[in-house]
Amino acid sequence: MSVWRTAVTLMGGVALIAATATDTIAVIGRHVGMPVHGSIELVQVAVLVAGSLAVLVATVANGHAKVHLLVDRMGDSARGAVDRIGSALTAVFFAALLAGSVWLAADLWAAHEISEVVGVPWRWMRLFANIALGATIIVLVRQVFAGRAR
């Protein structure tokens, strides 16, 4: 495993642990009469980071779920073509997600949106998600042109 992939995987894992720890502390706090205000906002940030990095790492590792029912019955050349088409369509899907997300980010960038309780600046979270989506699209396009199976 490359150093880059290890670092990104660790960052995503830390984000998941942070989400779990924050929610656990918030639940315990509610039960003992000391609620943690803003815990939902912090969990949202951690889940965004973990999810964005998980999609990127799964794409790099060819770890997305696949249905092999028909593809396994094809010859090598047909299987390669179908895998390339699948990667291309996945890139188109992520490009559509990125287009909508960039549109929202551009529209709301000057609004200086922040979360209600903790004050998380949402524009930076949108930027993080957009960068992760862009990186995922780049990986998929490279897989299409390199002929690497999805």
pLDDT in tens, 90-117: 999 999 999 999 999 999 988 888 888 8
Q: Terminal CA-to-CA distance of the chain, rounded, Å?
A: 18
Which residue in this structure is represented by tokens 């799964």?
A: 58
Domain that holds residue 122: 3-146
Q: How many domains does the chain have?
A: 1
pLDDT mean over 41-60: 94
Q: What is the DSSP letter of 73?
A: G
pTM of the model: 0.84
pLDDT above 50 (res 42): yes
**Residue 119: burial class (beta carbons within 10 Å; 0-12, 13-18, 19+):** exposed
Helix (H), strand (E) at residue 144: helix 122-146
Non-local (6+) Cβ contacts of 65 within 8 A are none
Task: Determine the distance from the C-alpha atom of residue 102 to the mean position of all C-alpha atoms in its chain, rounded to a whole number.
Answer: 15
User: Which pLDDT score is estimated for 1?
Assistant: 63
| Phi, psi (deg, nearest 5) at residue 95 | -65, -40
Within 10 Å of residue 56's Cβ, how many Cβ atoms?
A: 22
Burial state string for 90-103 with b = 16 or more CB within 10 A and e = fewer than 16? bbeebbebbeebbe
Confidence of residue 5 (pLDDT cuts 50, 70, 90): confident
What SS3 state is found at 113? coil
